[in-house]
Amino acid sequence: MIPVPSTETTPAKYKRVLLKLSGEALMGETSFGIDPQVVARIAEEIKDVHRLGVEIAIVIGGGNIFRGLTASAKGFDRVTADHMGMLATVINALALQDALEKIDVFTRVQSAIEMKEVAELFIRRRAIRHLEKKRVVIFAAGTGNPYFSTDTTAALRAMEIKAEVILKATKVDGIYDADPVKVPNAKFFPEISYLDVLTQGLGVMDTTAISLCMDNHVPIIIFNIKGSGNIKRVILGEKIGSLVY
């Protein structure tokens, strides 16, 4: 595959990134499941970044379909519930793959749980080779192990593929000291250290993910996925969202 030449005058700040998408990001304004129009819009934004020559890996959650931790609290066995949540991420990964390939972005889904009829098994070297060939790689089924969130998966996969940064797409503009929806005067942090995130309990990502990033010096940018073109703006180095360093 020959990459489409970029017409962009501003060079991308990053060569290889890991994008963390929540399952809820695919719901749009619905309360459950997948909104095809939202998925198509996100796919178009990913394509815009892909055209810059950026190598893109994606970790996607499953909370729009099934959340293991919530189900466990309601009586499900935790291990079973977590595996059900992993399968939900595969559904989302296939939906995003479909949307990307409809707009001519070559994509591979790699699952941490073997299901060869619908996805490749995650193999680190193969994932890196796909990225080098300018294919978008979507990592599904979390780490394949219970008790680990997709945030931790994002941190782990970012290190395994040597991503320069984790881009965490959320529904808010960045990191606040309280929920900005409930607390209008919540303090916004344009930049904050890993340690401050942990000590202040800000809930940016779970503590395992933050600790992994801190130990391996992988920066995290938290930004609002609802803003049109925000993924590209982050890639081009614009100061949007919050930086954890």
- pLDDT score recorded for residue 10: 72
- pLDDT score recorded for residue 2: 47
In this structure, are residues 60 and 140 in contact, taking their beta carbons and an 8 Å threshold? yes
Q: Are strands 191-192 and 220-224 parallel, antiparallel or unpaired?
A: unpaired
16-244 classified as CATH 3.10.20.30? no
Q: Is the pTM of this model over 0.95?
A: no
Please state, in angstroms and rounded to a whole number, the distance separating the CA atoms of residues 244 and 226.
20
- pLDDT score recorded for residue 4: 52
Note the helical H segments in 27-144: 36-50, 68-73, 78-102, 124-132
Percent of the chain with pLDDT over 70: 96
- pLDDT score recorded for residue 136: 98
In this structure, are residues 111 and 137 in contact, taking their beta carbons and an 8 Å threshold? no
Please state, in angstroms and rounded to a whole number, the distance separating the CA atoms of residues 18 and 194.
18
- pLDDT score recorded for residue 161: 98
Task: Mark the ranges of the chain whose per-residue pLDDT is less than 50.
Answer: 1-2, 5, 7
- pLDDT score recorded for residue 181: 83
Q: Could you say which DSSP state residue 10 is in?
A: S
Note the helical H segments in the chain: 36-50, 68-73, 78-102, 124-132, 150-160, 194-199, 207-216, 230-235
- pLDDT score recorded for residue 90: 98
- pLDDT score recorded for residue 68: 84
Q: What number of other Cβ atoms are within 10 A of residue 49's Cβ?
A: 25
Please state, in angstroms and rounded to a whole number, the distance separating the CA atoms of residues 65 and 204.
22
